[in-house]
Structure 1
Amino acid sequence: MTFRVRPVTIEHHREPLGIGESAPRLSWITDTAIPGWSQRAYEVEISNPVTGELERTGQVISTQQVLLPWPGGTLASRASRAVRVRVWGKDPDPSPWSEPTSLETGLLDTSLFSAQAVSPQLPPTGSAGEPAALLRGDIDLSQQVAEHGRILSARLRATARGVMTLHLNGTTVGKDALNPGWSSYAKRLRYRTWDVTGILHPGANALGVHLADGWYRGFLGFSGLRGLYGDTTAAWVQLEVLHADGSYSLGGTDGTWRSMLGPVTRADIYKGQSTDTRLLQHGWDEPGFDDSAWTPVTVQELDPAVLVAPDAPAVRETQLVPAIGQLASPSGATLVDFGQNLVGRLRVNLPAAAAGQTITFRHAEVLEDGELGVRPLRAASATDEVILNGEAMVWEPEFTFHGFRYVQVDGWPGKLDLDALKAVVLHTDMVRTGDFSCSDEQLGKLHENVVWSMRGNFLDVPTDCPQRDERLGWTGDLMAFAPSAAYLYDCSGMLTGWLADLAADQHPDGNVPVYIPWVDVDPSMPPLGAEAGWGDAATVVPWTLYERYADPGILERQWDSMEGWVAAMLRRAGDQLEFASGGFSFGDWLDAAAPDDQPWAARLPWQAVATAYLAQSARIMRDTAQVLGRAADEQRYAGLFERCAQRYREEYATPSGRGAFPSQTAYALAIRFGLLAPEQLEHAGSLLAAQVAEDGFHIGSGFLGTPHICDALVQTGNAATMWRLLLQTECPSWLYAVGMGATTIWERWNSLLPDGSLNPGGMTSFNHYAFGAVADFLHRRVGGLAPGAAGYRRQRIAPVPTSGLSWARSELHTPYGLASSSWTLEEGAFELEVLVPPSTSAEVFLPDGSEPIVVAAGKHRFSCAFQEQEAARSAQAFDTV
């Protein structure tokens, strides 16, 4: 057989166990080398492994294969099914059936949540973090097995107000970290499901929870506050055992459970963790353990209506990084260098040294004057410590994470062996989907740095930074970065869940908080109005997910949220769209020209930025309404877009297209958001190029303008200027940080000054992905692979080569399979190789100005002569926003 179908995927789930959908959508990918192959029909089979019943669709004539509606009966709670598919091309014979995919629903009926939330009775210990608690309970299944037969399967479902590690019969359950993560706790508390059939006993069993503050009760934000969600942590655990007769035995947290302090004497995400290994409770999570000296738990109220199944994979270890060197600081401190700014924690082989010896590990991203650079961390002490008990063991702090490259080690007994320390990289366990590479080593390193910054900040919540006392899900950062993120990793599930939190935390008037999940981390800060660019995450992120993953469902789900945001912005704009109410606004945050202590002081007034972004959201709403078949809404938002564009033209541009406040952002937003009349566009492009030249070919924009600069230059025939800007190595530029040794994207263009000193401002991070939004341009225009239709059902291949590069490549695992665009340039000869996935097509634009070529699935090669000026004009013909 020359074509086969991969196993079906269920919604956006990587692991469809305990899912929250009663009619989950299905997708599949066909692998074949047959040129031009396209699906003509499919057949789905759904089997019930308990009853043996089969449901088949029969042959369905359809080319659709991404997020198809569930073709079977609606699923109840705890339902299990196996799904497989076969497909037909133009030939009469189908493919073989795919390997079956097993799925299982969670508890869709809230009445099935029978366990109780329980809290430990523990005293607080101080301002550096509270102790973690051990909670345990015993469950004996002997009688149930005798009455109902052997155990067929067992599922453990759990969540917490706080973060926890689960234990069953002496075994840690799963490989998840910081479970259940951070969500809008009062409205959406995620529970996860584990298959524990293999570690459950038919007789006595012991369940255990190691519970710490996490985001729920720990320090949060930048004002030194803690306990913002509540003053008491709690765990909820439910064990469900299916017997041979079809009945269930249930157990879990209730008033019989007991708790006590464990070896973790201090646990906080910002502050770090302290562990006294002398206090280890051996066997505490095993049957028969004597817990008579432990304290009874307190039962807490928990509304089962807030419990939701997760959309995303859990946070897990994704890489183990060895140390590359050891340094002695000027003060004599021992510093360990891991060679990469990363996010996670240490795994340490502790020596068998004298009991009572304390080893301290302090983390930081950079060095300052040869010492650990902790000033940018502000109040996040990022310090872990362990007290030895005299035995050699492997130790890893389980209730914290740090952003770091360097670790200062104090108190190590004897000589430190670097092999004793490893860095555990943590983030949401997403699948890597896209890559980019090119002949320019620094440009390739820039892209690698973007990847590391995404990994570090996509840890359950898409955060601004992972190291200092902040780590919040700032909406503006993600709004800018979402297109890059959706290419690099399959973040569809994670961002679907985050958008649900956004909708849950959205204010009744439609205003979107500036970070999600929302909690007031600084009551002294005056309330913000509808914040342009930040709140626009409500429209931009769902549209990006639709564009990249072909998911109209996310648009339908978020429609009310999207409408609410645009209504909030309209109220702030006023009847004449003048944004005359004033007040503070972030605007083009961290414009390269802004003073270090005034990151909001951009060259373009925030009112102009707000007008442009309101227009962009109106256009997204227009296009979303078209996708969803809302004709009246489509017309209404089309009218709003035109009003916004007219307002921008009248207030912020002259009739010729000159900006009233000349800046790179002013021209880029006007060009990319379609705010100018055709007769203004070319002149505006020339003025943008002139502005870049006037700025010394340095970047001159902030968070909201930067993602659009390169595209705006190319779109208006100024590719040569774009290349000088993109390959600039002096500050401010993308490659300046690369030249200074950066291994992630910096928050500021000058987070590290040319003399190697740290930026003097009070807000300096070395791991922020916002300016890494340029990766989307690298993928689409340098490598040349862009979506031409939702989910890359059609690709638009339009690289913008330059004589400064000899080759570049973009490749992406799309919802239809692997697509790639790879080009070489040698002595004026341009060669392009394109891989088009089955069931898709591609529109290819060559840099010689010839007419685009449409090709079907398969490998294709093209060649043409290359001239820099002709290529710049050719690049103008390709335009996608």
Structure 2
Amino acid sequence: MNKELLIAGCSILLNIFSAAGQVTLHQLRTENLENPVGIDVTIPRFSWQLESSQRSVKQTAWEIKVTAGKTAVWNSGKVAGDQSVQVPYGGSSLQSATRYSWQVRVWDNTGHTTPWSAPAFFQTALLTPGEWKAQWIAPGFTEDAVNRPAVLFRKTFGINKKVRSAFAYITSHGLYEAQINGQRVGDAYLTPGWTSYKKRLQYQVYDVTPMLANGQNAIGVSVGNGWYRGYLAWSGNKNSFGKDIGLLFQLAVTYTDGTSDLIVSDNNWKSSTGSIRYVEIYHGETIDTREDKTGFAKAGYNDGAWSGVQVVDSAKNILTATCNEPVKKHETFKPIKVLTTPNGKTVLDFGQNLVGWVMVKAKGNAGDSIVIKHAEVLDKYGNFYLDNLRAAKATATYILDGKEERTLEPHFTFFGFRYIQVEGYPGEVKPENFTAVALYSDMAPTGSFSCSHPLLNQLQHNIQWGQRGNFLDVPTDCPQRDERLGWTGDAQAFSRTAAFNFGVDNFFTKWLHDVAADQRADGLVPSVIPNVLGANSGGSTGWADVATILPWNMYLAYGDKRILENQYKSMKAWVGYMQAQSKNDLWQTGNHYGDWLFYRPFDDNDGRAAVTDKHLIAQCFYANSTQLLINTAKLLGQNNDAENFQALLERIKAAFLKEYLTPNGRLVSGTQTAYVLALQFDMLPEALRAQAAARLAENIKSYNNHLTTGFLGTPYLCHVLSRYGYTDVAYKLLLQESYPSWLYPVKMGATTIWERWDGQKPDSTFQTPNMNSFNHYAYGAIGDWMYRVIAGLDTYEDGPGYKHLKIQPHPGGGLTKAAASLQTWYGTASSSWATNGNELTLEVEVPANTTADIYIPATSADAITESGKALSGIKEIQVAGKEDQYVVVKAGSGKYRFVTAAATAGKETKQ
């Protein structure tokens, strides 16, 4: 009996342990979104993640089934292969406004088959313009042409059947907020987002089924100026995309008896104004609560005094369903201090430079006016500083109605601030009555970096908050002054770092559509996207190259080939533009920003300003864009293009050498940026690269280990140093604490990345206020080096999207530990190292269905153990050889802990 019990117990334990090692499926996504409602992609792609406690788990086959209700739509059958991301739908044409469910199961390399996954779903939007039955409507009254208050639209309708489902399709000329029966529709803000409105206008789809009631119902929509007709760009112009507010609203209701109704915007709606008396992106918002149309989105509201609406003829063939995550509310902050400044003003400090607004609790007399101004910094005396906002008023004004306490907040604007100045508040200004709310695109946090150096950890914090504050549907340069535009150079420079910190695949996919939409017919790419600076603004090297650099960087980060397919025409057109502007393959025409905001000392009598020839820079980026186009052409099977552009690339580099290289092998511009770009983009013959790298290192030394690079040189500076064996010099630059450096702003108390290396000078005075943002992410591009080199977390070009990882940490700089993790489309990838005396520990996590090359700092494989065992005894690890001071091992998925003597860790061998 005991023997039988023992056997039974062992069998149970075996099953438990076997089940624990089984592959499970999770994170099912369609078009990189979880259960999206309202996508207009006709061939959506499916992704899933495998999870297992076992090592070296790999998918060998998959099967997907798609249904619409109880109707089978597609079954792929068993398909051999390890593809688990971006698997395209292969069934019959999808129908508009239809919900599809899908499931997947996989076979793994141990012979197991998973059960079918839990169902995921996606719902299509309106796939053809003809399915829009709504009409564009505008207010039926004469607007106040000076203040241009937000417009309210209203409609009532009846329901006398049981509702199965109801979906609202909404967009606007301006920014909208919608309500049904007094409930806010969705949790997105600044909708419909910002696109090249004349060519692409997004709409959103909402499931509003729970909001409808039997009997009378009401729709209420508020629309403010926004980017569509508000003030944009520094010249103070308005109406960039049109001068009239507009609304397009379509509500599709399906009843349980199978019938349906459409409630659409038409000439039966009504319009008025409400409490939002003034609203501008740059200048803020004035809300007069005495003018509230309380309950206007409820059925019983009396709209007898309201005006009708005008039906207007506006395009519907430019409408596109939102493909990216919308702007939402995120972190909240309470004031850490209430200050009375030297000039007697009441100021609240929230401790963090953020983008959003402040929610205010207040009760006072009718007509009391609360005025809130926003600033990033206090001046050297401790007074509120607004000069760097230029013409932006950045003010929220609330006029009270004398009734109950209310919580007040803006709707159609945003501010970049750490401090607010409060005027006119009724009663004592108490911290509990003020809450700052961060607004940014709802990107999933994906990456983390930390180390033993507190200032580097603060730098990482600043980089991430710079990204949060400037990724509001478009990647803006800054969020506070009268600019806030989608500068292309900033975006391309920061894009690799951006893809570590947050999931930006959908964010940049959407914005790249606008890059292509605003690109001129001759291939010129504007400097800002959406383009509000005019048709002739653009073509600047390093800025317009966003057309090639950004798609390629997104391909590396996510392995998404479709983004290259979508942008290939645009990429090719940009290279074609440069070719047309060149003479003898040398590009020396056009206006270029150059290495923007490079180092310029306060006193340049000794000629130490690091000025790089703009046309030298242009030739380097011309070559780089051509190389990226060649890479893309090969991936997409455009072999003739690849051959033609390869020949062009050789001519571009030959012209560079003839024009910019002296007979003794020096560049005509001897700056850090010149050498960085020449080395990064392989402009020099192999035989000259080592001496060029040495000259770069010597240049840095001549500046006492300070950088001098601007927007274009900085992203590549430390990467080039590491590539050519000068990681120790890169560490010196990174850890430099005096101006110019990454840590100088940190030492000065920054909580985001600054526009200038010296936005605030050592004596606490400021740089010129006409261009001095304290939230400007471009120099945060160093984050990419921190992830990929310090922590060593990287992907291979032939295994993009972290399908094949490269783990190669670079201990150094006096750090005793560093760690990075990334939520890839396959799961968590991480690299963490720590030194303890002469011992180094490297902990690595490789997601299921991926592989990794792991570079372990060690003298030999015999000096390494993994989880306490010699490498030779571990079947999941293959020793591949030795490179410089690393032992290279190949591994499948799983968690690994390597320990080795650290005597050689961090030393560099120059190439």
Q: Above 0.5 in TM-score?
A: yes
Q: 1:655 to 1:70 in 2, by over 3 A?
A: farther
The alignment status of 1:592 with 2:599, answered yes or no, reads yes
Closer, same or farther in 2 for the Cα pair 1:568/1:302, shift >3 Å? same
1:776 corresponding residue in structure 2: 784
Equivalent position of 1:405 in the other structure: 418
Q: Which range moved further: 15-24 or 376-385?
A: 15-24
Name the structure 2 match of 1:692.
700
Aligned to 1:80: 99
Q: CA distance change for structure 1 residues 468 and 868 in 2, over 3 Å: closer, same or farther?
A: farther
Deviation at 1:803, TM superposition (A): 5.0
The C-alpha deviation readout for 1:424-479, integer Å capped at 9, x for no partner, is: 10001111111111100001110110000000000011100000000000000001
Count of residues in Structure 1 that have an aligned counterpart in Structure 2: 857
Contact 2:806 2:852 in 1 (8 A): yes
CA distance in 2, matches of 1:528, 1:412: 44
Matched residue, 2:852: 842
Q: 1:735 aligns with which of 738, 743, 749?
A: 743
- Contact kept? 2:538, 2:544, Cα under 8 Å: no
Counterpart-to-counterpart distance in 2, 1:529 and 1:428:
26
Segment drifting more, 509-518 vs 224-233: 224-233
In structure 1, what residue type is equivalent to 2:774?
A: F
- Report the AA paired with residue 89 of structure 2: W
Provide the identity percentage.
Answer: 39
Q: 1:79 to 1:287 in 2, by over 3 A?
A: same
For 1:594 and 1:643, how far apart are their aligned partners in 2? 37
Residue 214, structure 1, aligned to residue 226, structure 2: yes
**Are residues 1:132 and 2:143 paired?**
no
Alignment check: 8 A CA contact 1:587 1:602 kept: no
Question: How far 1:529 moved relative to its partner?
Answer: 5.6
Distance verdict in 2 for CA 1:230–1:54, change over 3 Å: closer
Q: Using the TM superposition, name which of 702-711 and 564-573 deviates more.
A: 564-573
Name the CA distance, whole Å, in 1 between partners of 2:665 and 2:208: 65
Residue of structure 1 aligned with 2:559, choices 545, 550, 556:
550
Paired residue secondary structure (2:179): strand
CA distance in structure 2 between the aligned counterparts of 1:398 and 1:154, rounded to whole angstroms: 25
Instruction: Answer whether contact 1:546 1:791 (CA < 8 A) is retained.
Output: yes
Contact 1:119 1:235 in 2 (8 A): yes
Say yes or no: does 1:747 pair with 2:755: yes
Cα deviation digits, residues 597-617 of structure 1 (max 9, x gap): 9xxx96111101000001111
1:312–1:493 contact (8 Å) kept in structure 2: yes
Unaligned 5+ residue runs, structure 2?
Answer: 1-18, 859-884
AA matched with 1:114: K
Choose 13-22 or 207-216, whichever is displaced more: 13-22
Partner of 2:207: 195
Selected match of 2:116 from 97, 114, 124 = 97
Distance 2:755 2:141 in 1: 39
Residue pair 1:349, 1:421 contacting (<8 A) in 2 also: yes
Query: How much is the aligned-residue C-alpha RMSD, in angstroms?
Result: 1.8
On the 8 A contact 1:656/1:679 being kept in 2, the answer is no
Residues 178-205 of structure 1 show CA distances to partners (whole Å, capped at 9, x for unaligned) of: 1101111111110000000001123321
Counterparts of 1:57-72 in structure 2, within 5 Å, are 57-72=76-91
Alignment of 1:470-869 (within 5 A): 470-520=483-533, 527-528=536-537, 530-574=539-583, 576-581=584-589, 583-593=590-600, 603-654=611-662, 657-788=665-796, 789-802=799-812, 804-848=814-858, 849-867=885-903
**Matched letter for residue 893 of structure 2:** A
Q: Hey, what's the Cα distance between the residues in 2 that align with 1:74 and 1:623? A: 32
Secondary structure of the equivalent of 2:717? helix
Query: Residue 3 of structure 1: which of 18, 23, 46 is its match?
Result: 23
In 2, the alpha carbon distance for the partners of 1:412 and 1:551 equals 52
Q: Does 1:273 align with 2:285?
A: yes
Alpha-carbon distance in 2 for matches of 1:274, 1:870: 57
Q: Assess if the C-alpha contact under 8 Å between 2:489 and 2:544 holds in 1.
A: yes
Give the Cα separation in 2 of the matches to 1:767 and 1:480: 16
Q: What TM-score, normalized to structure 1?
A: 0.95
Q: Once the 2 structures are TM-superposed, how far is the Cα of residue 122 of structure 1 from its aligned partner? A: 4.9
Deviation, 1:14, is 4.3
Conserved in 1, the CA contact under 8 Å of 2:232 and 2:532? Answer: no
Counterparts of 1:335-354 in structure 2 under 5 Å? 335-351=347-363, 353-354=364-365
User: Quick check: 1:467 aligned with 2:474?
Assistant: no
Amino acid at match of 1:20: D
The code of the aligned residue for 1:366 comes to: V
Aligned counterpart for 2:302 among listed residues 290, 303, 310: 290
For the pair shown, which has the larger CA radius of gyration, 1 or 2? Answer: 2
Residue 871 of structure 1: how far off its partner (Å): 2.9
Q: Residue 879 of structure 1 corresponds to which residue in structure 2? A: none
1:15 and 1:313 in contact (8 A); partners too: no
Alignment of 1:454 onto 2:463: no
Cα shift at 1:648 = 2.3
- For the Cα contact (< 8 Å) 1:464–1:769, is it kept in 2? yes
> Do the aligned partners of 1:270 and 1:380 also contact (CA within 8 Å) in 2?
yes
Q: How far apart are 1:245 and its partner, in Å?
A: 4.0
- 1:327 maps to 339
Of 368, 372, 376 in structure 2, the residue corresponding to residue 361 of structure 1 is 372
Compared CA separation, residues 596 and 297, structure 1 to 2 (3 A): farther
* Residues 172-183 of structure 1 mapped to structure 2, 5 A cutoff: 172-183=184-195
Q: Deviations over 1:668-712 (max 9, x none)?
A: 111111111111111111100000011121111100000011011
Residue type matched to 2:85 in 1? V
Letter in 2 for 1:645: K
Change in CA separation of 1:202 and 1:468 when aligned onto 2, cut-off 3 Å: same
Mapped to 2, the partners of 1:499 and 1:747 lie a distance apart of: 24
Distance 2:341 2:143 in 1: 36
Work out the CA distance in 1 between the residues paired with 2:223 and 2:702: 57
TM-score, normalized by length of structure 2?
0.92
Cα distance between partner residues in 2 of 1:619 and 1:30: 35
The 3 A distance-change label for structure 1 pair 337 and 280 is same
Q: Quickly say closer, same or farther: Cα 1:399–1:761, change in 2 above 3 A.
A: closer
